Structures are given as structure tokens and as C-alpha cells.
Chain A
Amino acid sequence: MESGKFVIAAQEAEAMAKTAGVAALKELLPLLVPTAQRLARPPISNYPVGAVGLGTSGRIFLGVNLEFPGLPLNHSVHAEQFLVANAAAQGEAGISCIAVSSFPCGHCRQFLQEIRGAGEIQILVTSDEDAAFRPLSSLLPHRFGPFDLLHKGIPLLLEPHDNDLGSVESAVIAGGGQEVYEGIEKEGIQQRLRAAAGAAAKASHAPYSGCAAGFAVADGEGRVYAGSYMESAAYNPSLGPVQAAMVGYVAACGGVGGEYRGWGIFAAALVEKEAAAVSHDGTARIFLEAVAPGAHLNVYRFRSSATV
């Protein structure tokens, strides 16, 4: 298993299953959990969690927990959320099974409800004495979920979203403001950040508030990573666009096992709705202050042509 890989293509997954001598792909998942754990970044708890999921496409996705010192704990990303955000960013249509290093907490059991057919997602906990796959419905019986608030035709998480952003009003707000890009052309980066955040906003899952949002970050070499806001019917377990972008960043870079490097973010862009009931502007600012002081943030607010 190549360290640092957060997505395993279907063919490679099958080859690995053969090599490992397991009958079905899903039996491979628990074997990959320890590797996933080693990629986790939880400097507050030092409690690494690894999650490995099998997509309906046959691809395997990894998820790890992320913690950000200096911020409230609701900025943390759980391994199961990382896994789902990772899969969503890769256009995966469904998750059938997940193996994870410790029991999903209630927050995650709730977040997973955003996926259609969540009840049938098979979950295996490697730390369990009798580790075996069981349906998510057995871990969150009598659930509260999307259909308590939405009608059945609304797209759920991992289904195609194409939110109407209308006209993007450029409301540029300077964040730490040094705008040092170490020789990389500033305008090019800003445009790419804006485009990436805009695309992420278009694909975001925000059916409860109607407030689509996307975030993008750029590293010192001008690479751009973006993430889409993912709302939960239960509100609080929602994954912020900033967190989703960090998932994109970690998943692309792979991280280095056991070593917590700095984040190296130089610039960022937030695309969200004007006068939004749910706004990430302030939270993005404090996130960058803690995680990447000096990084420049541009905020773009759009006005939907349709009322959501």
C-alpha cells in the first residue's frame, strides 16, 4: 500500500484484494485501516482515527481525522466526514461499506444520514472484539434525517448538485493581507482560487439553508485545492467549506505519516451567498488566522437569480 494515497482506483483495489487473499473487496477495507490511521492529523487529542470506504464504483477512499489547535472543537473533521468529502470531491456516487478504527460517534452517524440509503451502509469497527459489518441503521435506530425536512426529489449527498450562483458579486475582503506568493503570479492564483471555490459552491449540498458555499486554498507552489459545503439535516454536524477544502488539500498531498507539518497555505477564496442565513466569512477568517496567519482571503458573494 503506497503511503499517502487517499483514493485507490477500482482495478488497483481488486489487485490488492487478490494479493491479500480476501474473497470480496469489502474484506480488504479493515486491512487498510491502520495505514489510514497513520495519515491522521489530530494534534489536540493525539487520537488518530482512520476510515476506509468502498464506493459503488469499486474505488476505495480513505478518511482521517483533522484537528486544528487554537480554534473551537467544531472546526475538527472526523475520519468518516473526511471519507465522504473525499469521495464527493471525486464524484463518487455512493458508499456501500466503511471500516473504521473506532466506533463512529453520534455526530458521524448523523452526518452519514445525508447519503441516500444511509441505513444500509455497512460499518465495521476494527477495534471491536467481534469486528463485523453491520448496517448503519443498527448504530442509529429511529433516525432523524433528510426526509424529516426535505421532499424525496431533492438531491442528497454524493448525488449531482448544480446550485444556481447567479451573478457573483465580487466583494473582496483582505484577510491577513501580505499577499506574498513567492514569485508566483498573484492574479493567476486569485482567478484560479475563485474559479475553484465557485465550482465547489455549485456542487455543494446545502438543501436546508439554501446557502451554497465553496472554499479554495492555495499552497506555496500555487496548487489549488477546493471543497464544497456539506450540510447536515441536524445542522451542527455540517462540514464547513473550509474544512472540506482542507480535506481536499490533505487528500491530494497525502500528508506524511505521523509528522504534523505546517499547512503552508498562502491564499484562499470563499464563494458564498450574499446576506446568507448561513455565512462562513467570519469563520473562514478565524480559521486562517489560526492555521495560516498571513494568508490572503478573498470573499465572493453571489446573488441567486432564483429564490432558494
Chain B
Amino acid sequence: MEEKPTRSTVGKFVIEAEEAQAMAKESGVAAVRELLPLLVPAAQRLARPPISNYRVGAVGLGASGRIFLGVNLEFPGLPLHHSVHAEQFLMANANAHGEPGIRCVAVSSVPCGHCRQFLQEIRGAAEIQILVTSDEDPAFRPLASLLPNPFGPPDLLHKDAPLLLEPHDNELGALEATGVAVGGGGSCNGIRGGGLERRLREAAEGAARSSHAPYSGCAAGFAVADGGGRVYSGSYVESAAYNPSLGPAQAAMVACLAAGGGREGGGWGIVAAALVEKETAAVSHEGTARIFLEAVAPGAHLKVYRFRPSAAV
């Protein structure tokens, strides 16, 4: 497919509605959704898959008219379930920006079953239009045609439960701090101290409040800080099928890359992190977050905060 010049979108993971419309005009396409496949190659270039070297780019059109990019991420030294697929990145990115719905997605290769399942977490998933740019005859088709007879939220939840991209406000209750040191003494290039720790905690808390965890009831959020003291956070996103769930650490890495972070010298540049999750949770991310940081940011300091909801969940 012909590639769209990307001077205004280099490294950008979110394109505002007005700009999207302007780009569509410039490209001579009738509808903004026809712009999506033209942006896929640019998205692919932002992917970070050092294990497979198989770059996937996904470009989605939100109900708001904004365009979101997604790319695949792989983390050497960890099991493959730590990977993030481009379609998951796209949804986590849209979610982090308060996007209420995704209508169409153009992607560089056909979504795998894991992603077709993950996408079921969105209300009206069956009608999401998917175009695969590597197809001989790329055309938009409904997700229902790629995953007939889906297993999904309606099999486990009642119809009024909020789904992914809908507002969540999980009650966290009282927060208890537990320090978990990973690697060295938590140096943050001089930015260490109460300020950064507090910002990490607040960001992770906010992310936990908006996380989508209706199956386990275990809300969780993760925040990371880079050497420049910038904080990025991500919310846990659960899948009805369990295994395709996007961990909060992964969601935070999505936010990091989407915000323009994580590009220093090929490493991620993470120096500190915070995890907020439920006390004695059926689904706990603490251990996995520790091994994730050991592999991705050795020496980074991790603090874990456990909350106890006032009502029994």
C-alpha cells in the first residue's frame, strides 16, 4: 500500500481529530478511515520486537475522530506472555486517552487469535472494522467475521458491567505501602526522593482506579519513571479469556513509548516504578513486576502498594 508522508506524525501515537481530517484531505481519501492503512507503515517503524524482528503496526480510528497507533513490544529475557501485541497497544493507548470507542483498525498483518479475543473486551466488538494491509485485497471487514461464536464478556458479566474504554472507577480503599527493592539503591539521577515516589504512587493509583478487571475484581495500576523524572502509567486490562489480559506493567510501557519516552540508547531508561494492587489478590502482579524490571530495567527501584477495599469484593 502506498505510504503516507509522515512529517507531521513522526513518533506520534495519537493524532487529534482535526489533524486526522486535514491529513485525510491531503491524501485525497473520502473518509478518515481510508487514511488508516496509509499510516500503517509509519506505525510499523515504531515497533520494538527484538525477539522476532517481526514488526506489527496497528492504526485505529476512535469514536472521537482521533487516530491512535499501536505497535508490538517484546522483552528479551522474559517469557513470551510479557509481549504486547500492536492491537493491544492500540487499545491501551486509546484507553489511556479516554477514548470511548474504536470503530476501525488497519493493521500490518492479520490479527492473531489472542488479539481477536482481547478486542472482545470492547462493547460492540463484533462490529469493529478490521483491514489487513498485507492482504491481497485489503478491505475492512467486521471483527465478527474473524472470530465467529466468540467467548467474551457477555459469557461472564451482566450486560451493564462497564467494558474496556468505558469509565471505570474502582474503589481502592486504604493503601498500605510495602517497599520492594529491586536491584540497587534506587538512584534516579538526582531526582530521587519524596517527590518522585509520590508522583509514581499517585499515577499508579489513578491507573488502578480506572483499570478493567471485572473477572477477578483485582484492580491494578503500574507507573514507571525515566531518568528525566517523567512518569508514565498504565492500567491493568483483563480479558474474559484470562490469558490475553494486558498486565499493568505492560500497559505502563505502552504509555511510556506512546508519550515519546523509552527511546534513549535502545534501552527503556526506567529508573523507578510503583505497583498498586489489591491486598491478597487472587490475581497479583507483584512477582511478575519484579522479574519484568529485572529484565528490562535492572537496578530500577520498585515500590508496591496494596489496598484493601472497604466493601468485600
Which A residues are closer than 8 A to B by beta carbons? 44-45, 47, 67, 69-74, 76, 78, 102-111, 113, 125, 128, 138-144, 148-149, 208-209, 231-238, 240, 276-280, 282-283, 285-286, 289-290
* Chain B residues within an 8 Å CB radius of A108: 113, 241
Q: Chain B: which residue is nearest A111 at the CB level? A: B113
Min Cβ gap A278→B in Å is 6
Which listed residue (B80, B110, B291) contacts A238, Cβ 8 A? B80
User: In the complex the two chains form, what is the Cα distance from A237 to B85 in whole Å?
Assistant: 12
Evaluate whether A44 and B241 lie within 8 angstroms (CB atoms) in the complex, with A236-B81, A238-B79, A278-B79 already known. no
Best-buried of A107, A233, A280, A290 by chain B (most CB within 10 Å) = A107
Best-buried of A106, A278, A280 by chain B (most CB within 10 Å) = A106
Q: Chain B: which residue is nearest A234 at the CB level? A: B112
**B77 engages A144 (CB within 8 Å):** no
Q: What are 15 contact pairs spanning A and B, CB under 8 A?
A: A44-B283, A67-B242, A74-B247, A102-B151, A105-B244, A107-B243, A109-B147, A113-B113, A140-B113, A143-B113, A234-B112, A235-B81, A277-B76, A279-B79, A282-B291
B95: interface (CB < 8 Å): no
The A-contacting residues of B in range 275-312, CB under 8 angstroms, are 281-285, 287-288, 290-291, 294-295
- Chain A interface, >50% SS class: loop
**B285 engages A72 (CB within 8 Å):** yes
The A-contacting residues of B in range 47-72, CB under 8 angstroms, are 50-52, 54
B120: interface (CB < 8 Å): yes
Min Cβ gap A104→B in Å is 7
Best-buried of B112, B114, B291, B295 by chain A (most CB within 10 Å) = B112
Q: Chain B 85-123, CB within 8 Å of chain A: the 1/0 string?
A: 100000000000000000000000111111111101000
**A235 engages B80 (CB within 8 Å):** yes
User: In the complex the two chains form, what is the Cα distance from A203 to B110 in whole Å?
Assistant: 30
* Chain A residues within an 8 Å CB radius of B76: 277-278
User: In the complex the two chains form, what is the Cα distance from A282 to B82 in whole Å?
Assistant: 12
* Chain A residues within an 8 Å CB radius of B15: none
- Chain B interface, >50% SS class: loop
**A237 engages B243 (CB within 8 Å):** yes
Interface bracket on B: 35 or more
Q: Chain B: which residue is nearest A142 at the CB level? A: B110
* Chain A residues within an 8 Å CB radius of B145: 141
* Chain B residues within an 8 Å CB radius of A44: 216, 282-283
* Chain A residues within an 8 Å CB radius of B51: 209, 277-278
Which listed residue (A109, A148, A286) contacts B287, Cβ 8 A? A286
Evaluate whether A234 and B114 lie within 8 angstroms (CB atoms) in the complex, with A73-B242, A74-B81, A142-B146 already known. yes
Which listed residue (A45, A235, A283) contacts B52, Cβ 8 A? A235
Min Cβ gap B81→A in Å is 4
* Chain A residues within an 8 Å CB radius of B291: 282-283, 285-286
For the complex of A and B, list the 8 residue pairs with the smallest distance between their C-beta atoms, beginning with the closest.
Answer: A110-B113, A106-B117, A286-B287, A282-B291, A234-B112, A105-B241, A106-B113, A74-B81
**B155 engages A144 (CB within 8 Å):** no
B189: interface (CB < 8 Å): no
Q: Chain B 129-156, CB within 8 Å of chain A: the 1/0 string?
A: 0001000000000000111111100011
**B151 engages A104 (CB within 8 Å):** yes
* Chain B residues within an 8 Å CB radius of A285: 287, 291
Q: Chain A: which residue is nearest B147 at the CB level? A: A106
User: In the complex the two chains form, what is the Cα distance from A104 to B113 in whole Å?
Assistant: 10
B210: interface (CB < 8 Å): no
**A208 engages B113 (CB within 8 Å):** no
Evaluate whether A149 and B288 lie within 8 angstroms (CB atoms) in the complex, with A73-B242, A110-B114 already known. no
Which listed residue (A70, A139, A236, A283) contacts B114, Cβ 8 A? A236
Which listed residue (A111, A125, A144, A238) contacts B81, Cβ 8 A? A238
**A73 engages B238 (CB within 8 Å):** yes
User: In the complex the two chains form, what is the Cα distance from A138 to B149 in whole Å?
Assistant: 10
**B147 engages A286 (CB within 8 Å):** no
Evaluate whether A69 and B282 lie within 8 angstroms (CB atoms) in the complex, with A45-B215, A76-B243 already known. yes
Min Cβ gap B146→A in Å is 6
User: In the complex the two chains form, what is the Cα distance from A231 to B51 in whole Å?
Assistant: 13
B21: interface (CB < 8 Å): no
Contacts A73-B243, A106-B150 given; 10 further ones with Cβ under 8 A?
A: A105-B151, A105-B240, A105-B241, A142-B110, A143-B113, A278-B51, A278-B76, A279-B78, A282-B78, A286-B291
User: In the complex the two chains form, what is the Cα distance from A109 to B50 in whole Å?
Assistant: 26
**B109 engages A106 (CB within 8 Å):** no
User: In the complex the two chains form, what is the Cα distance from A20 to B300 in whole Å?
Assistant: 61
**A102 engages B245 (CB within 8 Å):** no
Min Cβ gap A114→B in Å is 11
* Chain A residues within an 8 Å CB radius of B155: 102
User: In the complex the two chains form, what is the Cα distance from A211 to B96 in whole Å?
Assistant: 34
Q: Chain A: which residue is nearest B281 at the CB level? A: A70
Evaluate whether A70 and B120 lie within 8 angstroms (CB atoms) in the complex, with A45-B242, A238-B79, A240-B79 already known. no
Min Cβ gap B262→A in Å is 19
User: In the complex the two chains form, what is the Cα distance from A143 to B145 in whole Å?
Assistant: 12
User: In the complex the two chains form, what is the Cα distance from A102 to B242 in whole Å?
Assistant: 15
* Chain B residues within an 8 Å CB radius of A277: 50-51, 76-77
* Chain A residues within an 8 Å CB radius of B288: 71-72, 283, 286
